[in-house]
Amino acid sequence: MSTDTANAEHDTARGPTGDVARISTDDTHTFFFDHPLDHIPGMLLVDTALHRAEDAARAGRRAAGPLRVRALDLTFNGLCERGSDAFLHLGADRPGGRAFTLDVRQDEASVCTGSLRLEPAPRRELFTEAPGRAPGHGRPRRAPAELVHKRSPDNVLIGPLRQTGEHSYTTDMIGPPADRWPDVHPATVLVEAIRQTATITSHTAWDIPTDWQYVLMSIRLTLSGTATWPAAPELVCRVSPLKGRARGGIDIGVQVDGTQVGHMHLRARAVPPAAYRRMREAASKATEATA
């Protein structure tokens, strides 16, 4: 599945500095739907935005080479519901520009807003190491799937977590085989690996029960350059104290051979199962009332 144009029924309207596209979902796609979800996952919104921005940046450019993400800043204003069309509104700074604002809207409400910036790069891929396999070694060790909220171990993108300081934890990213998710943007895979790192760290550092639900509030990713990394990165977490055992922020440094090449700050809310059910029931009743 391609999140930008795979669905032949998707609605698209392109202007000189703007683009509107329907979020296309495919429940069989194991990257976005490793297990049943009662909402459209945030990673699908991220991936759609990245693909559409690349398309828009190349529009009108005769020699459009690879592009890499330099900055991605998203705020999630609410869950993107299933059963109702959601549309990505993408705005460029100028025709063919590489800086964009975005707004995902559903039923007249904004569920995600933000911005992203692309720059020319030698390669679209982030790193050149053989995906998913360290040279001279067999299948890499992975973090426990339940600690990153995945069902299939093959969808775990990080190795076991190591505590490296009083408030810091480190893990290694494991790139998927090139043919596993060829339609998923490389930056989306990195963001998902960082999300998994933040999730396992919260269970470890804050003792959050594994059956609690996470509601993503914001992500802010910056990469320091467009050079291709010679190896998969280390992801280094620095945690801040929880606020009322419900909200917290995690800073994740992206390092290659000891040099920081990127950084992401992630904010999320951890919700107990009963509270999550009440929240979803209230959202369902609100949707029915406006239908």
The pTM (predicted TM-score) of the whole model is: 0.88
pLDDT of residue 239: 81
Domain positions in the chain are: 1-121, 126-291
Tokens of 257: 């051979």
pLDDT of residue 212: 93
The residue to which tokens 């010679």 are assigned = 230
237 in Cβ contact with 220 (< 8 Å): no
Give the pLDDT confidence of 171-195 residue by residue, as tens digits: 999 989 888 999 999 999 999 999 9
Q: pLDDT-derived band of residue 47, with 50, 70 and 90 as boundaries?
A: very high
Q: What is the CATH number of domain 126-291?
A: 3.10.129.10
Q: Do domains 1-121 and 126-291 have the same CATH topology?
A: yes
Cα distances from 139 to residues 132, 190, 228, 229, 248, in angstroms, run: 8, 20, 24, 21, 33
pLDDT of residue 284: 74
Element (H, E) at 194: helix 186-205
Return the CATH class of domain 1-121: alpha beta
Range from 138-147, 219-228, 272-281 that averages highest in pLDDT: 219-228
User: For residues 119 and 57, what is the distance between their CA atoms, to the nearest angstrom?
Assistant: 9
Q: Is residue 95's pLDDT more than 90? A: no
Nearest residue to 68 (alpha-carbon basis) of 15, 116, 121: 121
